Amino acid sequence: MTLTSETGELEVMKLAGAVTSALECAMTTDEKVILLGEDIADPIGGVFKITKGLSTKFGSHRVRATPISEQAIAGTAIGLSMVGYRPVAEIMFFDFMTVAMDQIINHAAKMRYMSGGATPAPITVRTTVGGSRFGAQHAQMLEAWFMHTPGIKVVMPSGPRDAKGLLTSCIFDDDPCLFIEHMGLNFSVSEEVPVEHFQVPLGKANTLRTGSDVTIVTYGSMVGPCLAAHGTLAGADISCEIIDLRTLYPLDLETIFESVTKTRRVLVVHEATQFCGPGAEISSQIHEQLFGELLAPVLRLGAEYTPVPFSPALSGYPTHDKIVAAVLSAVRP
């Protein structure tokens, strides 16, 4: 389905399709954009079919199917970036980033600093997370590790439009970016997305709902449950402001502080473990800057501190009911 608007042609896409569109537009715009990853070339087109058709269109020299070696994928991407390319490296599951941590943390994230700004590393690392049915080694949310590492930007979209715009911004950024796709969102959410090249700025959160009683800060897969809880809480005469971070680093503290100054209560919700998760830093920043303004302590809601179980029934993730209960505890203790 194709639509038009004042900003150009729009097409209804799912998140997976929006990622494909971003890659295709970037490769059309700049011949230095190259894709690398396991099984990403046709006929397979990647385990989630994100790159299907791209090697046929752009050639196998620009869509390179690699050996099963995350170290080699990341290392090759870094080398390409040093000679003028903008590689997009796919690491199939977020868990497998651990195998490539040396290349990404000790090399890509440090090159600009160690070269006095002479050697940027314009690489984008795409990876997928989510889905407890894949078990403890294929579903971990490890974004806090990378937020903790200076030199790399961390991005996680919650919908198709942001997925295309944010990925495009990552590809054309001169520093390394980690772009996290949630498999639970890949084929479940549809939105109107610009067909042509367009970008969403990194480091700018999106206020999805305005409210006066409590601010809910979230991102990625938890945006949906938070929006659903917003409706339930509105029925209880509680007004929630919902912020979708979109970029975890750089973190848009200005938008968070502006909202919290108004509502004076906060709940941070994420799928990562609550202990030492991204919410810990967000909570600390709010307490340090706005402690005298708060009507209640900042609350955090994340996954239980346990390996991801195979059974979804045991996942321990935040749910609609848990979000509603947490907000009620803050507003009506």
Q: In whole angstroms, what is the distance from residue 126 CA to residue 63 CA?
A: 14
- Both structure tokens of 73: 């994928």
pLDDT reading at 197 higher than 80: yes
CA–CA–CA angle 198, 230, 163 (5° rounding): 20
Q: In whole angstroms, what is the distance from residue 153 CA to residue 148 CA?
A: 10
* Mean pLDDT across 210-227: 97
Q: Of the candidates 33, 245, 14, which has an alpha carbon nearest to the alpha carbon of residue 126?
A: 33
Provide the pLDDT confidence category of residue 7 given band limits of 50, 70 and 90: low
**Contact of 270 with 278, CB cutoff 8 Å:** yes
Domain ranges of the chain: 2-194, 206-331
Q: Summarize pLDDT for 58-90 with one digit per residue, the tens.
A: 999 999 999 999 999 999 999 999 999 999 999
CA 199 to chain centre: 15
**Contact of 296 with 330, CB cutoff 8 Å:** yes
pLDDT reading at 4 higher than 60: no
Q: Summarize pLDDT for 33-59 with one digit per residue, the tens.
A: 999 999 999 999 999 999 999 999 999
pLDDT reading at 1 higher than 80: no
Q: In whole angstroms, what is the distance from residue 21 CA to residue 15 CA?
A: 10
- Which CATH number applies to 2-194: 2.40.50.140, 2.60.40.10, 3.40.50.970, 3.50.50.60? 3.40.50.970
Q: What are phi and psi of 49, to 5 degrees?
A: 65, 20
Provide the pLDDT confidence category of residue 8 given band limits of 50, 70 and 90: confident
Q: What is the mean pLDDT of the chain?
A: 94
Q: Summarize pLDDT for 277-298 with one digit per residue, the tens.
A: 999 999 999 999 999 999 999 9
Catalytic residue, from 61, 107, 138, 197: name it: 138
What CATH architecture applies to the domain 206-331?
3-Layer(aba) Sandwich (3.40)
**Contact of 308 with 141, CB cutoff 8 Å:** no
Q: Summarize pLDDT for 153-195 with one digit per residue, the tens.
A: 999 999 999 999 999 999 999 999 999 999 999 999 899 999 9
pLDDT reading at 314 higher than 80: no
pLDDT reading at 309 higher than 90: no
Least confident segment among 152-161, 218-227, 306-315:
306-315
Q: Is 138 a catalytic residue?
A: yes
Q: Summarize pLDDT for 93-142 with one digit per residue, the tens.
A: 999 999 999 999 999 999 999 999 999 999 999 999 986 567 788 889 99
- Both structure tokens of 161: 């439009």
pLDDT reading at 333 higher than 80: no
Do 2-194 and 206-331 come out as alike in CATH topology? yes
Which pLDDT score, from 0 to 100, does residue 138 have? 86
Least confident segment among 1-15, 54-68, 83-97, 245-259:
1-15
**Contact of 37 with 60, CB cutoff 8 Å:** no
